[in-house]
Amino acid sequence: MTVVVVGAGPVGVTAALLLARRGLDVLVVDRHRAAYPQPRAVHLDDEALRVLQAAGVADRFAAVSRPMAGLRLLDGAHRTLVEFPRGDGAHGWPQASMFSQPDLERVLREAVAAEPRVELRGGVELVGLADRAGPVRLTVRDRETGVEEELLADAVLGCDGANSTVRRLIGAWMHDLGPTERWLVVDLVAAVPLDVWPGVHQVCDPERPATFMPVAGSRYRAEFRLRDGEGAADLDLPAQLARFGAAGCTVTRAAEYTFAARVTDRWRSGRVLLCGDAAHLTPPFIGQGLGLGLRDVHQLSWKLAAVLAGADDALLDTHQAERAPHARSLVRLAVLLGRLMTGGGERAALVRRVVLTGVRRLPRLAAFASSSRTPPLRPGPLVRRSRFAVGSPVGGLLPQPPVDRPGR
């Protein structure tokens, strides 16, 4: 049985490793010949680390990442309103890890190179797709020679990102769940480690919302929301970086991004299925963009392997039934928290200061905010509606606690 994965980013390559571990042969095709060299995703939680663990790369990822100390919400003067610490979670990994995406991609591609069931072909773009009776037929084109080739697959995974060709070819559409925002994302390298708190700093200033975080090693990231009509050149970047103690850093990249909140209306057409950014886009306020995609392919890998081994194709219907509500919950949560942290004017900023500083005096609320738990699966194929209630563990991930034994 052969599965074709379109897109060789972290979600697509992780999918290939998971499927190979279930005995399937996988071909990964990507329009680029090499991994994207610039950092994009910088955060994964401990639930996502369990997906990398299932793919056999978690230990190697841990070697190129670092635990995140937590989240500090700051006012416009960079005074701390409240701090939510992170530590050891319930899943055997740090609650939050910071990393540079090129490091993760290198780890994943090294694992693929050592996996005989996976082939990765770069410089190849998808131009046609037909899913009728029998195998899925794909037409791909070599971007250098222009030569087209027809491929046959037992299933196809569209992990080809926000501008997904697979999504377009199956006629799926993205639905907006919130407004778009333009942000300037700045990646930095310091000659010596900065004397800053090793967590994420979120400036809750409606005039200039911003984020600053140590990533891994000597790398840092700063993000600034751009106003309507404002471009990167209009921002006094050295002055903004100096406020975070990063004036002496070297800027390795400064790029404008449009943060969107969208979920596709269709996740499946026959044996063609969407995962990752091809299926959903989320603002970065809770750091769940990549984690959502890893959850997609983790739950899909066992279902697809079962169907290709003889289970009813109807099992694949649960891909959308399970993942779409969870994705919508997280995307809406990111939109809500973004508004709570950065929205409004001066009056909203004053209310925010009063509310956030009061969180410190509410231990249960502070503990919940520090837990980094994601919303549970909603009632559906894996969760009975009669058993679901607010605060119930139903729909949550079973813990994976570390176990001490002599010598380990």
The predicted model gives 69-94 an average pLDDT of 87
Residue 389 has pLDDT above 60, yes or no: no
Range with lowest mean pLDDT among 46-50, 207-211, 297-301, 360-364: 360-364
For the stretch 162-184, pLDDT in tens is 999 999 999 999 999 999 999 99
Q: For residue 262, what pLDDT is reported?
A: 97
Range with the lowest mean pLDDT among 89-93, 118-122, 320-324, 358-362?
A: 358-362
Q: Using CA atoms, how far apart are residues 132 and 294, in angstroms rounded to an integer? A: 28
* 99-120 mean pLDDT: 98
Which class in CATH covers the domain with range 2-39+100-176+261-335?
alpha beta
Sheet with 174-189: strands ordered across: 80-85, 70-74, 200-203, 210-214, 219-225, 174-189, 250-264, 280-281
Asked if 153 contacts 2 with a C-beta cutoff of 8 angstroms, the reply is yes
In this prediction, residues 190-194 reach a mean pLDDT of: 94
299 or 360, which is more confident? 299
**In Å, how far are 4, 279, 391 from 327, measured between CA atoms?**
24, 9, 19
Tens digits of per-residue pLDDT, 242-276? 999 999 899 999 999 999 999 999 999 999 999 99
Tens digits of residue pLDDT in 337-372: 888 877 766 666 666 665 666 555 555 544 545 455
Q: What share of the chain is helix, strand, coil (3-state, %, to 5)?
A: 35, 30, 40
* Domain residue limits, the chain: 2-39+100-176+261-335
Query: What pLDDT does 350 receive?
Result: 66
What does each C-alpha distance from 19 to 13, 134, 322 come to in angstroms? 10, 20, 19
DSSP H or E segment with residue 58: helix 58-63
Identify the residue with better confidence: 294 or 402. Answer: 294
pLDDT band at 385 (very low <50, low <70, confident <90, very high): low
Q: What is the mean pLDDT of residues 324-333?
A: 93
For 5-26, the pLDDT digits (tens) are 999 999 999 999 999 999 999 9
Q: How many CB atoms lie within 10 A of CB 100?
A: 21
User: Whole-model pTM?
Assistant: 0.90
Q: How far apart are CA 218 and CA 132, in angstroms?
A: 51
Q: What is the pLDDT of residue 401?
A: 77
Average pLDDT over residues 72-95: 86
Radius of gyration for the chain, computed over Cα atoms and rounded to the nearest angstrom = 22
